[in-house]
Amino acid sequence: MQPTVLINQHRQTAIIVAACGKKLLIVKLGKGKLTVTALLPTEIQAQGYVTSDYSPTKAAESYLKHGAGVSKRAKQFLEEIANSQYTDVLTFT
C-alpha cells in the first residue's frame, strides 16, 4: 500500500501507513507519543482528513523526530516509509 499524508481543516496531519482488512492504519501527529490507530475510511473522513500532496517520506522522517516519542509499532512503519522510495502521488492500480 502507498503511504499517504492526510491533513484536516485544523492543519493537523496524519499518515496512512498500512491497510488492515477494511480499516486503514494511521499515525496522527499530536502532542503525545505517536501511536498507530486503525480507522475505517469513513471515520477518517468524519474527522475532516483529506489527502495531501506532501511527501510521505518527508512526513515520516519528521514524525520520527517527534519530541514526545513514537511507539515501537509506529516507529517500525515510519522507518519503513522514511527508508523507501515512495512517490509523492497516490496512485490506484
Per-residue pLDDT tens digits for 17-59: 999 999 999 999 988 999 999 999 999 999 999 999 999 999 9
Residues 22-46: b if buried by 16+ CB within 10 A, e if exposed: eebbbbbeeeeebebeebeeeebee
Query: pTM for the whole thing?
Result: 0.86
Q: How confident is the model at residue 93 (pLDDT cuts 50, 70, 90)?
A: very low
Strands 23-28 and 50-51: unpaired
